[in-house]
């Protein structure tokens, strides 16, 4: 990327706890651009304290923008807030001579100011199966007109000069879900940061610590995780230790019920600041998610030299090669997954083959700097 690139990067708060994948990516992105001497101005949501503190530590200029909830009960207030944010975006573009405007979520594209002569980048992070997309479209078609209008207002993806997605599944989702017609994709997995080294697994005798990461929710496979943990405990008592890293919303009745059912078999550590630190001492990653754009935890696991045991679903299937750096199973095949975990735990040579291949995949394909290298090449073509 040349020095003429001057970027305004916009991200809204996506979760209550501030550790979601888009937040991690956004901070890694800011950090890497700064290291490369590229000017970037950040806009983030008011009250997103964790990100704001990190941006301050990076000494990157920023502005806290009001959060926008498109409310049809108060349409005038909503419109005035959107126009105010657009005005400030335009002001910052002119003041800092910015030439790239980047939205770090597709649902922010309605904030593009009028008559804004600037290159637009949209990060589209989601991925769904064809069946999930068609079901969603059917529900939207039957739903309230205002729900459809809100979606139409927020997702104006046609403004993009460059659409960044993590993989082919995410690209296919964007085309089908949003009827996206342009062919301007940068398909580039975000990877993870750091200069990790390959390491041998020290604890060969067990218990074998298996990490599960991410929000404890239905889409992230919380029921599957509880069932797998119970079966491992039943079939191989004392041999495996399951740890969950991530937010558990105990105020949600279904999530709390699953948590109560699983806490005797799973060590819930909550949100941790550096999951790779925990993965470095782990035996494997268990990814029970029902869908991913790519799954940051997959890249983190590879950087920590551990294999991944996952459902063969959207996103995950692109980054795990069966019997090479992990295993893919038909979603819900709990008995098969549990048996394979046990087979690998009894075969040291197989396990270290998986471990070495997982780390090699990180080094060759999924270092964060490689994503930014691809990003630079794509941005240069816009200017």
208-365, CATH topology level: Rossmann fold (3.40.50)
Question: Which two tokens mark 69?
Answer: 């909830």
Q: Which residue, 315, 328, 364, is CA-closest to 166? A: 315
**Residue 176: HSE in the Cβ half-sphere, 13 Å Cα cutoff:** 18
Q: Cα dist. 240→236, 268, 308 in Å?
A: 7, 15, 15
DSSP-assigned letters across all residues of 312-331: S-TTHHHH--BTTTEEEE-T
Cβ-contact 98, 9 below 8 angstroms = no
Q: Is the peptide bond before 122 cis (omega within 30 degrees of 0)?
A: no
Q: Which residue, 236, 247, 328, 184, is CA-closest to 50? A: 247
Within 10 angstroms of residue 46's Cβ, the number of other Cβ atoms is 13
- Decide if 6-191+367-380 and 208-365 have a common fold: yes
Domain ranges of the chain: 6-191+367-380, 208-365
Cβ-contact 296, 289 below 8 angstroms = no
N- to C-terminal Cα distance for the chain?
10
Checking DSSP bridges between strand 62-65 and strand 100-103, what pairing results, if any? unpaired
Q: pLDDT tens track of the chain, all 383 residues?
A: 455 889 999 998 876 655 577 888 999 999 999 999 999 999 999 988 889 999 999 999 999 998 877 777 888 888 898 999 999 999 999 999 999 999 999 999 999 998 788 999 999 988 888 888 888 888 777 777 777 787 888 888 999 999 999 999 999 999 998 889 999 999 999 888 888 889 888 777 779 999 999 889 999 999 999 999 999 999 999 999 999 999 999 999 999 999 999 999 999 999 888 888 889 999 999 999 999 888 889 999 999 999 999 999 999 999 999 999 999 999 999 999 999 999 999 999 999 999 999 999 999 999 999 999 999 999 999 98
Q: Model-level pTM greater than 0.95?
A: no
- Give, as one character, the DSSP assignment of residue 157: G
Task: Report pLDDT for 197.
Answer: 87
Which residue in this structure is represented by tokens 């699983």? 262
Within 10 angstroms of residue 219's Cβ, the number of other Cβ atoms is 11
Q: What are phi and psi of 249, to 5 degrees?
A: -85, 90
Cβ-contact 194, 276 below 8 angstroms = yes
In DSSP terms, 6 is beta-bridged to: 39
Which residue in this structure is represented by tokens 């990877």? 191
Q: How far is CA 356 from the centre of its chain?
A: 24
Counting every residue written for the chain, the total comes to: 383
Task: Report pLDDT for 18.
Answer: 52
Q: Is the dihedral of CA 280, 284, 289, 290 positive or negative?
A: positive
For residue 163, give the 3-state DSSP assignment: strand
Task: Report pLDDT for 1.
Answer: 44
State the burial class of residue 2 (Cβ atoms within 10 Å of its Cβ: 0-12, 13-18, 19+).
Answer: exposed
Which residue in this structure is represented by tokens 């969950």? 244
In DSSP terms, 209 is beta-bridged to: 241
What is Dmax (Cα atoms) for the chain? 66
Within 10 angstroms of residue 119's Cβ, the number of other Cβ atoms is 18
d(CA 107, CA 170): 15
User: What CATH number should be reported for the domain whose range is 6-191+367-380?
Assistant: 3.40.50.2000
């Amino acid at each position: 990327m040349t020095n003429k690139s001057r970027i305004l990067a916009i991200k809204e708060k996506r979760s209550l706890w501030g550790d979601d994948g888009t937040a991690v990516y956004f901070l890694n992105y800011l950090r890497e651009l700064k290291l490369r001497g590229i000017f970037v101005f950040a806009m983030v949501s008011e009250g997103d304290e964790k990100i704001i503190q990190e941006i301050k530590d990076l000494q990157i200029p920023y502005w806290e923008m009001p959060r926008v909830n498109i409310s049809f009960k108060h349409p005038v207030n909503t419109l005035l807030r959107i126009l105010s944010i657009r005005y400030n975006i335009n002001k910052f573009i002119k003041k800092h001579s910015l030439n790239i405007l980047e939205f770090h979520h597709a649902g922010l594209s309605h904030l593009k100011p009028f008559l804004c002569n600037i290159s637009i980048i949209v990060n589209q992070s989601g991925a769904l199966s064809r069946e999930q997309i068609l079901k969603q479209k059917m529900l939207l078609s039957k739903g309230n007109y205002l729900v459809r209008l809100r979606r139409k207002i927020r997702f104006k993806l046609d403004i993009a000069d460059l659409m960044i997605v993590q993989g082919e599944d995410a690209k296919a989702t964007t085309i089908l879900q949003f009827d996206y017609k342009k062919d301007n994709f940068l398909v580039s997995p975000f990877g993870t940061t750091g200069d990790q080294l390959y390491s041998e697994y020290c604890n060969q005798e067990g218990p074998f610590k298996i990490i599960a990461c991410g929000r404890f929710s239905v889409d992230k496979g919380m029921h599957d995780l509880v069932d797998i943990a119970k079966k491992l405990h039943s079939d191989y008592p004392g041999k495996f230790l399951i740890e969950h890293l991530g937010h558990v919303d105990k105020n949600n009745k279904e999530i709390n019920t699953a948590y109560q059912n699983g806490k005797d078999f799973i060590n819930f550590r909550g949100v941790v600041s550096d999951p790779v630190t925990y993965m470095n001492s782990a035996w494997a990653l268990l990814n029970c998610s029902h869908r991913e754009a790519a799954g940051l935890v997959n890249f983190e696991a590879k950087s920590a030299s551990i294999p991944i045991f996952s459902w063969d679903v959207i996103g995950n299937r692109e980054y795990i090669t069966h019997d090479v750096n992990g295993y893919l199973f038909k979603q819900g095949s709990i008995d098969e997954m549990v048996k394979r975990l046990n087979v690998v735990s009894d075969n040291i040579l197989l396990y270290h083959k998986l471990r070495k291949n997982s780390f090699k995949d990180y080094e060759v394909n999924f270092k964060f700097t490689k994503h930014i290298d691809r990003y630079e090449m794509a941005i240069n073509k816009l200017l």
